Amino acid sequence: MSSNAEIIQAPGQTMVKAWVKGVTFDPNARQQVVNMAQMPFIHKWIAVMPDVHLGKGATIGSVIPTLNAVIPAAVGVDLGCGMMAAKTNLTASQLPDSLTALRHEIERCVPHGGGPKLRGQRDKGAWSNAPADVQQAWSTLDAGFTALCEKHPFLKNTNNLNHLGTLGTGNHFIEICIDETQQVWVMLHSGSRGVGNRIGTHFIEQAKRDMERQFIQLPDQELAYLREGSEHFQDYVEAVAWAQDFAKANRAVMMQRTLKAMCDVLKLPITAEVEAINCHHNYIRLEHHYGKDVWVTRKGAVSARKGELGIIPGSMGARSYIVRGLGNEESFCSCSHGAGRVMSRTEAKKRVSMAEHLEALQGVECRQDEAVLDETPAAYKPIEQVMAAQNDLVEIMHTLKQVLCVKG
């Protein structure tokens, strides 16, 4: 199989293979990857996906295989963040001319947005009282959470049950899309919410304290790691596994609530099959590559084993893709998780006018206020270029176009 990868290698450090032909690779993100490549436990090389951009802790769009160690900040704090897509029995002709009522009903059924800005304000992004379907989903997570709280009592005071089935903020979304055959899909993006953030933050700080205690010098303190067999390694692996299960359940609850909202508003019987799996793109997993069992950290990357289905969303107003993995071992069987930012949130709000934002979103039913300007399409790489750069990693099965978008 021919490779689209660019090779980056400095003397005395691990190789980097970057699928970045025809796309922007910011110099700061490149340096961040080079720093990561200095770590002594990288297995073979680091793979960089075409949606690569600077991240906190590690480069977003990177695949990091490690032997007997993990870097908590490389995984980040939105543990198990990922996508879910379901193909419905509806066709585009069955959707009403105006989707405003449907958007409002989805927004009513799925809590979204950030927490309170002032003490005493209600958290509109959380449940005040978790409904029955949320409690049912929590029942599969409760025993694991209780066990975690026995080891880490601070987790009792996190947003856990009250964040299950909620969207969050930033680039998290719920979308109604139409594919190339005019079939209607539901697609959504979210992770492990408040409880996952707290788990991730705790172990990032713990790894940093371990480095200080052991007098280990690093090119960047965000590269603090936990060694297999060390005091906190197994605790981290267990906590992350639970958070990833929470994230998957979170997406499943929101999907069912969105489908019910569609039934209620459209007055049609709606069935859906999960054609693209409920897949993480911010996680760790023990995998076998090049003769070794290694911890693979995908920081903004999706598993793309041969025949495996995945989801690569574009920005608001752009195309998204259901893909099938080609099993390219050079990328450790991975692909991008989206388009990738070219502007920071602050920069997007400064550089893109509301008029430009609305023009880019013509034909998409969505909020039209300055609070979502940081998610404007111009803040992201063109998804078509990103897909072209990874045509040796995945094949496109379906091309989706959004007609409705709910943002946090």
State the total domains in the chain: 1
Any domain includes 149? yes
Average pLDDT over residues 199-228: 95
Any domain includes 181? yes
Residue 375 phi, psi dihedral angles, 5° rounding: -105, 15
Which residues, in sequence order, are bridge partners of residue 42?
66
In the numeric block, the tokens 């066990």 are attached to: 147
**Which of 53-57, 81-85, 155-159, 195-199 is predicted with the least confidence, judged by mean pLDDT?**
53-57
Any domain includes 226? yes
Any domain includes 97? yes
> Rounded to whole angstroms, how far apart are CA atoms 114 and 270?
30
In the numeric block, the tokens 């899309």 are attached to: 177
Q: What is the model's pLDDT at position 151? A: 96
Angle at 246 between CA 244 and CA 203, to 5 degrees: 55
Any domain includes 77? yes
Q: What is the model's pLDDT at position 317? A: 79
Per the structure, the complete domain to which residue 85 belongs is given by 6-342+380-407
Q: What is the model's pLDDT at position 64? A: 98
pLDDT band of residue 119 (cuts 50, 70, 90) is: low
Any domain includes 356? no
Residue 268 phi, psi dihedral angles, 5° rounding: -130, 145
Which residues, in sequence order, are bridge partners of residue 293?
288
Any domain includes 371? no
pLDDT at 84 over 90: yes
pLDDT at 319 over 80: yes
Q: What is the model's pLDDT at position 196? A: 97
Q: What is the model's pLDDT at position 277? A: 80
pLDDT at 357 over 90: no
Angle at 95 between CA 93 and CA 101, to 5 degrees: 165
Q: How far is Cα of residue 403 from the mean position of the Cα atoms in its chain?
A: 21
Q: Who's near 38: CB < 8 A, 6+ residues apart?
A: 13, 14, 219
Q: What is the model's pLDDT at position 355? A: 87
Class of residue 135 by CB neighbours under 10 A (exposed 0-12, middle 13-18, buried 19+): middle
pLDDT higher at 286 or 3? 286
**Which of 39-48, 78-87, 363-372, 387-396 is predicted with the least confidence, judged by mean pLDDT?**
363-372
Question: Residues with catalytic annotation?
Answer: 337
pLDDT at 204 over 90: yes
Any domain includes 365? no
Q: What is the model's pLDDT at position 115? A: 67
How many percent of the chain have pLDDT more than 70? 97
pLDDT in tens, 367-387: 888 878 888 888 889 999 999
Residue 400 phi, psi dihedral angles, 5° rounding: -110, 145
Strands 394-407, 334-336: parallel, antiparallel or unpaired by DSSP? Answer: unpaired
Mean per-residue pLDDT over the chain, rounded:
93
Q: What is the model's pLDDT at position 359? A: 86
Q: SS3 for the chain, per residue?
A: CCCCCEEECCCCCCEEEECCCCCCCCHHHHHHHHHHCCCCCECCEEEEEEEEECCCCCCEEEEEEECCEECHHHHCCCCCCEEEEEEEEEEHHHCCCCCHHHHHHHHHHCCCCCCCCCCCCCCCCCCCCCCHHHHHHHCCCHHHHHHHHHHCHHHHHCCCHHHCCCCCCCCCEEEEEECCCCEEEEEEEECCHHHHHHHHHHHHHHHHHHHHHCCCCCCCHHHCCEECCCCCHHHHHHHHHHHHHHHHHHHHHHHHHHHHHHHHHHCCCCCEEEEEEEEECEEEEEEEECCEEEEEEEECEEECCCCCEEEECCCCCCEEEEEEECCCHHHCCEEECCCCECCCHHHHHHHCCHHHHHHHCCCCECCCCHHHHHHCHHHECCHHHHHHHCCCCEEEEEEEEEEEEEEC
Q: What is the model's pLDDT at position 131? A: 97
CATH number at residue 281: 3.90.1860.10
pLDDT in tens, 251-262: 999 999 999 999
Q: Give whole-number Cα distances, 12 to 31, 290, 396, in Å.
A: 15, 21, 38
pTM of the predicted model as reported, rounded to 2 decimal places: 0.94
Residue of 160, 158, 170 whose CA lies nearest to 60: 170
Residue of 396, 393, 397, 395 whose CA lies nearest to 1: 393
pLDDT higher at 36 or 3? 36
pLDDT at 2 over 60: no
Do 285 and 237 meet the contact criterion of CB atoms below 8 Å apart? no
Q: What is the model's pLDDT at position 273? A: 80
Q: Which two tokens stand for residue 32?
A: 């961040």
Q: What is the model's pLDDT at position 116? A: 61
How many percent of the chain have pLDDT more than 90? 81
pLDDT in tens, 258-282: 999 999 999 999 999 876 689 999 9
Do 25 and 389 meet the contact criterion of CB atoms below 8 Å apart? no
